[in-house]
Amino acid sequence: MLLGMARGLLMLVPLALLSWPLATAARGEPLEDTLARVFPLAARQLEATASTLPETEYPSETLPDGTWDTTDADSFTSGFLPGSFWALYEYTGAPIWRTRAERWQAGLESQKDRTDDQDLGFILFTSFGNAYRLTGQESYRRILLTAASSLSQRYDARMGLIRSRGDLDDEDEFEVIIDSMMNIELLFWAARNGGRRELYDMAHQHALSVLESHVRADGSTYQTVNFDPRTRMLREQGKEQGCRWNTTWSRGQAWAVYGFTVAYRETKDPRMLRAARLTADYFIRHLPSDEVPYWDFQAPNIPKEPRDSSAAAATASALVELSQLETRPERALRYREAARDILRSLASPAYLDSNRRTSAILLHGTAFRPHDRFDTGLIYGDYFFLEALLRYSKLPERLTSREPQQREALLSAAPSTGEAPRNRERLFRFEEGILTPEATGVDRIVGPVTLVSEGALVGNGSVRIPDTFPAFLEEHFTDTTDFSTSFYLRVESLPSENTDLVSFLKGRTPLGNLFLRRNGTLFARNGPFEVGPRSNPMEEGELYRISLSQKRESGSFAILEASLARGDEAFECPFASSRVRLSTPRADRLRLGATTGPLDLVIDDVRLDTALP
């Protein structure tokens, strides 16, 4: 009580004069002096946020000018500001932080009845979960129990999984993302705080199923997995915010470490401990020398790639807890030291926003690198940083000091197997001034397709696909499982409806294909099923390069990838990259142009590569 009163009085002193020690930190810890600076800085930043934002707006990431971009209550990020206020209340005991937390979380209560999304744990356990833990207020418990009941409706007993997105009765797709591991704690908590026992079983089974479908043998993770809900068969494993299907998005890896650690704490199932170890070891093993990961562990331009401080913060918090749950002392020490090293780096001038460059606490977060949202402050990075520091400050015993491990990020792409297939390469350049199959080498030209010289993309001539359909080029080849195409494109005007742009087919059956949306984004499909995220929007009149490829992987699976780049920029990370199950693995033709709706675009330098039998 006296300690809480004393800390409350400290809030009357100007923040610049404060030097707050972590009262329960072990003496002599290498982080002690560094950690003592963080909470005053956090208080300063969060106080500024509270004074500038209305209570109905919730920060997500910082804008180029350093201010917060905000969301409504239904965003997965909305609970992290009140959660951060609760962290300051826990540390200081000052009533002002409880008041602020309760003011901002009040607008989140309505989310407890949602059944259309998995993110109730992110939204409500970070806010009302901390509120109940620190105050014991009964109304908060009831809100959380309602939220858990709502989330449980997304659980499918046949699949043994919580559906991440989509309608509850969707019979075409059943998508589960690794982020779901951050929401099962709400179910575990509810089961031991007055909720149904089935909530525990759902959370436990979901974690077991995710271990099977999302975690690779080396401990790395897929972000997205899609199932056929009618057959329960795996349909797709891929990426959304990472680089490629077989690389590892670092924040997704953090969600896995955190979620499996929670699952082991709640179940004591040794399979969950093995999963936590496996994913944690992978994360630690792939850290660069300053302990803060790149946004993707195998991003193509390391060490020039952006970091993600939020992935570091969430993993540090999980590692502190894992070190206390670990049954082997040498592993416990390893995880605790790894957490310490990460926190030391995050609390350094390189990552801590000591000079008020932004409204955030941490710098250099990556929200969504493929959509150019990087090198920013992230409210969830701040939240997990404070949570990790609070957890670390309560560790019971002193560590033996050592220097951080020296290691570099590993650039380990999936190894190729066997010899590369022999390819037949074809390039169609449209330079002859005549648009006929004989002049161009294209097997089939359908509809009012024309040649243009004025405004040609490359060389003296390009092909114009008009806003009348059907209008397309078609090239035939010996059927094969491995094929790719790339071409230059300029959109003259965006379509009035989603329209097919390029397709590989077997006869009339589509395999991999790309559609152009009314807003200028592209999306890939495997037959009729959408694959991966959408591209950044294209602008009318700008020059782009597009590629689409399929490569047989194993059994009935293939790798489907689609890329978009400006002008002559190199293709780096595809916007869609997934391991997909094929109903028809072999294609025998490429179709470029519109069959389902009007397009208005110019194309050139069409390259087609097909594997020879």
Q: Which residues are catalytic?
A: 119, 179
Which of 390, 222, 264 minimizes the C-alpha distance to 316? 390
Contact between residue 35 and residue 22 where contact means Cβ atoms under 8 Å apart? yes
198 token code pair:
């089935």
Contact between residue 191 and residue 197 where contact means Cβ atoms under 8 Å apart? yes
Task: Report d(CA 92, CA 380) in Å as an integer.
Answer: 21
The rounded Cα 394 to chain-centroid distance in angstroms is 30
Question: Is the peptide bond between 303 and the residue preceding it cis, with omega within 30 degrees of 0?
Answer: yes
389 token code pair:
């520091």
CB atoms inside a 10 Å sphere around CB 247? 21
Residues in CB range of 420: below 8 A, 6 or more apart: none
**Where is 477: in which H helix or E strand?**
strand 471-480
Residues in CB range of 106: below 8 A, 6 or more apart: 55
Instruction: Please tell me what DSSP assigns to residue 262.
Output: H
Task: Report d(CA 419, CA 116) in Å as an integer.
Answer: 47
Task: Report d(CA 240, CA 254) in Å as an integer.
Answer: 15
Task: Report d(CA 385, CA 220) in Å as an integer.
Answer: 23
Largest CA distance in the chain: 91
Instruction: Please tell me what DSSP assigns to residue 454.
Output: T
Sign of CA dihedral 427, 430, 431, 434: positive
Residues in CB range of 463: below 8 A, 6 or more apart: 430, 435, 449, 450, 451, 452, 473, 602, 603, 604
246 token code pair:
């077989």
218 token code pair:
């080396």
For residue 180, what are the CA distances in angstroms to 12, 83, 260, 320, 496?
41, 19, 11, 21, 35
Task: Report d(CA 365, CA 311) in Å as an integer.
Answer: 8
Sign of CA dihedral 105, 109, 115, 121: positive
Read off φ and ψ for residue 134, nearest 5 degrees: -95, -20
Read off φ and ψ for residue 119, nearest 5 degrees: -85, 25
Identity of the amino acid at 284: I
Task: Report d(CA 94, CA 50) in Å as an integer.
Answer: 15
Which of 493, 512, 494 minimizes the C-alpha distance to 502? 512
Instruction: Please tell me what DSSP assigns to residue 426.
Output: E
Task: Report d(CA 155, CA 425) in Å as an integer.
Answer: 48
Binding-site residues for substrate? 119, 179, 251, 255
Binding-site residues? 119, 179, 251, 255
Which residue in this structure is represented by tokens 């000079």?
355
- Side-chain half-sphere CA neighbours of 213 within 13 A: 29
566 token code pair:
């400006």
